[in-house]
Amino acid sequence: MKTAMSRRQSESMALVGLFAALIAVMGLIPKIDLPLGVPITLQTLGVMMAGCLLGPWRGLQAILLFLVAVAAGLPLLAGGRGGLGVFMAPTTGYLIGWIPAAFTTGLLMALLPKATALRAAASAFVASVLGGVLVLHAFGIAGLVLVAKIPLMQAFWGDLLFVPGDMLKCVLCALVVHTVARALPDWRLGGRGA
């Protein structure tokens, strides 16, 4: 019994580390800078995938591991950024928002139907839109207002620049979940059965 528990914990730790590394690798894709001081990156796709594929708690742990590494100075954010300074910039709300975004995405994925690969993909899309777009953007807008001192309506309209790309990321996340559900039918999508 103790060996099985240790194996499950080891698997969980490995997945958390793997997804933190995956988000770091996504930071190698060049960023697109916008006037708000917040770049468009592929890393938010990693946040969505962490929630959908790992579930709320392990997805949250993967994001925390990644953000701790960034805070420690590792240049893991798109454009080679890292250190505590990134948490004092206009990106603050978005970076902090990765935590509740991954958790919410994972929680929704755990609650939504996943009986078939197609249903799992549809659930991943819905979970990504609600967690990875709505929750994340709410934190991002709050960060722009509180840290960058941008007026609320200007922050809201500026944030809308990210929505088309993030919706595309939701589709990509759904496609990844569909592929995983077909190739690995025993995968605990959204942490189900964990």
Q: Express each pLDDT in 114-148 by its tens digit.
A: 999 999 999 999 999 999 999 999 999 999 999 99
**Tens digit of pLDDT for each residue in 55-76?**
999 999 999 999 999 999 999 9
Q: Which residues contact 124 (CB under 8 A, 6 or more apart)?
A: 48, 52, 109, 173, 174, 176, 177, 178, 189
C-alpha–C-alpha distance, residues 69 and 118, integer Å:
35
Using CA atoms, how far residue 45 sits from 1, 22, 102, 171, 175, in Å, is: 37, 10, 10, 10, 12
pTM for the model stands at 0.91
Residue 83 pLDDT class (50, 70, 90 cuts) = very high
- What fold does the segment set 2-191 form as a domain? Arp2/3 complex 21 kDa subunit ARPC3 (1.10.1760)
Residue 4 pLDDT class (50, 70, 90 cuts) = low
Residues of the chain with pLDDT > 90, as a percent, come to: 76
**Tens digit of pLDDT for each residue in 101-116?**
999 999 999 999 999 9
